[in-house]
Structure 1
Amino acid sequence: MNANPITLPLGGYEAQHFGLEVRGKTAVVTLNRPEKKNPLTFESYAELCDFFRALGKDETVKAVVVTGAGGNFSSGGDVHEIIGPLVAMDTVRLLKFTRMTGELVKAMRACPQPIVAAIDGVCAGAGAIVAMASDLRYGTVRAKVAFLFNRVGLAGCDMGACAMLPRIVGQGRASELLYTGRALPGDEAERWGFFNRLLEPETLLDAALAMADEIAAGPTFAHAMTKRMLHMEWAMGVDDSIEAEAVAQALCMQTEDFGRAYRAFAAKQKPVFEGD
C-alpha cells in the first residue's frame, strides 16, 4: 500500500511517485521519471491505485489528464526495480503482484471522472495499459504504443488487455499487437481508433487539458453515469443494456443540472452546470 495516505481534497495532496497538479476542476497526473522514460515501480503502482480510488470521494476534481514527462508517456514496468525482483518470487508473491497491477486498471475504470491520456513517445507494456484504461487518448505521430509482454516471455493477457483492447481496436488488430508486441506508430494508432486525435508534441498537453476542462465543465453526475454504463454494458446484452440505461437516465433527470439545462434552453442561453 501507499505509505503516504491520500488526503482530500486532492488539490492539497503531495504525491511521492508521480507529479500531481490540480488546475481548476482538472487533475494532471504526470509520470515523471524522464531519465528512464517514466517506468512504473511497485511504489508508483500502489500510489496511483490509491489516487484513482480516492477520486471517487473527491468532489472538486471533475476530470483527469494522465501524461508523461520528457517526451515519453511510460516505458512500462521498470526492468531493474520490478522485472528483476519478479524472477526471484514464488507463485504466491507473483500472483499478489499481478493482482496489484490489475487493481490500478480497476481503479481507473471505477473512478467517476473521465480520464484523458496525453501520449507522446514511448508508451509500452504497463504504460500502454494505463493508456488503454483511460477514457480518451490523444497522441502524436512520434508516439509508439507497444504491448510488449510476449517480448519478455509473458502472455498478452495482462491487466485486462484481452478484454479491453479488442473493444478499442477490434479483435484482429488486438490479436496482432498482443501476439507480436510490435510498436504501433501514432498515425496508425489513430487510424485504428486507439488515439482519438493526433496532435503535434507541442500542442498535445494543451489539447488534452482543453478536452478535460470541457468535460469538467459538463454535468458531473451524468458524465459519471456515462462512464459507468460504458464499462458495465460490456457484459450485457442489448435488452439488459436498454433497461440499465433507462434507470440511469431517470436518475440523471432528477439532478439539478438537468433542470438548469432546461431553463437555459428555454431562455435561449448556454447552461452552466454545477455538478449536482
Structure 2
Amino acid sequence: MKHYIAASNPMRPQFNPQAGYAARHFAWHFDAGVGTITLDRPERKNPLTFQSYAELRDFFGALRQATDVKAVVLTGAGGNFCSGGDVHEIIGPLTRMSMPELLEFTRMTGELIKALRACPQPVLGAIDGICAGAGAMLALACDLRYGSAATQTAFLFTRVGLAGADMGACALLPRMIGQGRASELLFTGRAMTAQEGLAWGFFNQLYDSAELLARVQATARQLAEGPGFAHGMTKTMLGQEWSMGLEQAIEAEAQAQAICMQTEDFRRAYTAFAARQKPVFQGD
C-alpha cells in the first residue's frame, strides 16, 4: 500500500508560500502571513482519501520551514468542514488489506495529526457544517477552533465498528472537554452540537456561517502580526507540558522564556513601548 501513503506531490522543505503551492487534494491561499488550507470536495462534504491524508501530512511538515507563514487557517468548502475518510475510497479498500497494510495506514493518519501539532504556526479551524470522523480529529488538533450554529462534530468511529481511539482521540479529546464528556462522545459516536462544543471549551467562539471564514482569517492575521518565534514557543510548550509535573513545567518555561528574551522581537517590543508606539514584530 506504499503507493497510497507516499506523498502524492512531494514538496521541497523550503517552499515559497507567496509563489503558491499547487496542491492536488486541497486548496492553498496565502496572504499577508496567513495561509488558508481548504478541503475542497464540497460535493462529498470534503472527505479524505489516502492521497489527501499523505499530502496534508507532508504539507504541515513542510510548514516547519516556511518562515513566511505566520498563521494557518484550516477550513472546508461548500458549507461543511470534513466528513471523514471517504467511504468508497478508504473504508472499502481497508476491508481488503492485510494487517501490515492496515497498520501502515493508521500510523500515517496519526502522522498527519503529529505534523499539524508540530508545525510552529498557530492553526485555526474554521469549522462549519459536518465535522466527522477524521475531520473531527483535524478540528481537534487545531490550536483554536471556531464554529457556527450549524456545526455538528462527531467522533463516529464506533458507528463503523472501530474503537473511539483513533488518531489520538483518547489523548486529545479528554484534555479538551473532560474525561466524562469525551467518553460519551467516543463510545456513542453521537454528534456534539455547536452549543455543547462552545460550552465545553471545544470551540473558542461561534459565528454565523456567512462570516465564519472571514472572522477566523481576521483572527489569524492578528496572530500573524505578533511575535512569530514566541508563538511557536508557546505552541511547543503547550504540547510538551502535558507530560510534565509542575516543577518540570516551571523550569521548562523559564528556559523557554529566556530563549525568547534573546530575540529581536523582544527588543523591538521594549523599544516601541519606550517610544509609545505599537511594536512591529518580524518573527526573529
TM above 0.5, yes or no, is yes
Mapped pair 1:5 → 2:3: no
Q: How far apart in 1 are the matches of 2:35 and 2:249?
A: 31
CA distance in 1, matches of 2:232, 2:249: 17
TM-score normalised over the length of structure 2: 0.96
> Which structure 1 segments of 5+ residues have no match?
none
> What is the RMSD of the two structures over their aligned residues, measured on CA atoms?
0.7
Runs of 5+ consecutive residues of structure 2 not aligned to the other structure: 1-5
Find out whether 1:81 has 2:89 as its counterpart.
yes
* Structure 1 counterpart of 2:233, from 225, 232, 235: 225
Alignment of 1:116-127 (within 5 A): 116-127=124-135
Aligned equivalents of 1:203, 1:96: Cα separation in 2: 39
Matched, 1:25 2:20: no
Tell me the distance in 1 between the aligned counterparts of 2:232 and 2:51.
Answer: 28
Give 1:71-150 correspondences, 5 Å limit.
71-150=79-158
Question: Deviations along 1:45-102, whole A, 9 cap, x unmatched?
Answer: 0000000000001111010000000000000000000000000111110000000000
Report the counterpart of residue 43 of structure 2 in structure 1. Answer: 35
Give the Å deviation of 1:10: 2.8
The AA in structure 2 aligned to 1:243 is E
1:259 aligns with 2:253: no
Distance 1:193 1:210 in 2: 21
Query: How far apart are residue 3 of structure 1 and its match?
Result: 2.8
Partner secondary structure for residue 212 of structure 1 = helix
3-state DSSP of counterpart to 1:189: helix
The letter for the 2-side match of 1:69 is A
SS across alignment from 1:49? helix
- Tell me, in whole angstroms, the C-alpha distance in 1 between the residues paired with 2:8 and 2:174: 36
Q: Which residue of 2 aligns with 1:197?
A: 205
8 Å CA contact 2:177–2:202 kept in 1: the answer is yes
- In 2, the alpha carbon distance for the partners of 1:10 and 1:3 equals 19
Match of 2:61 among 53, 56, 61: 53
Structure 1: 4+ residue segments shifted above 4 A:
none
For 2:225, the aligned partner's letter is: A
How many residues get paired?
276
Structure 1 CA distance, aligned partners of 2:174 and 2:17?
Answer: 33
Shift, 1:40, TM fit: 0.3
Q: What is the identity, as a one-letter code, of the residue corresponding to 1:10?
A: P
The superposition leaves residues 171-228 of structure 1 with CA deviations (integer Å, 9 ceiling, x where unpaired) of 1111111011000111111111100001000110011101111111100110000000
CA distance in 1, matches of 2:219, 2:235: 16
State the alpha-carbon separation in 2 of the partners of residues 247 and 258 from structure 1: 15
> % of aligned pairs identical?
63
Q: Which whole-Å CA distance do the structure 2 matches of 1:185 and 1:213 have between them?
A: 28
Q: Greater shift after overlay, 263-272 or 137-146?
A: 263-272
Contact residue 8 and residue 54 of structure 2 kept, 8 A: no
Is residue 68 from structure 1 mapped to residue 100 from structure 2 by the alignment?
no
How far apart are the structure 2 equivalents of 1:50 and 1:147? Answer: 24
- Separation in 1, partners of 2:50, 2:10: 16
What is the match of residue 181 of structure 1?
Answer: 189
| DSSP 3-state at the match of 1:73 | coil
Deviation, 1:106, is: 0.3
Please say if residues 149 and 206 of structure 2, whose CA atoms lie closer than 8 Å, have aligned partners that are also in contact: yes
Report the AA paired with residue 233 of structure 2: M
1:24 deviates by 1.6
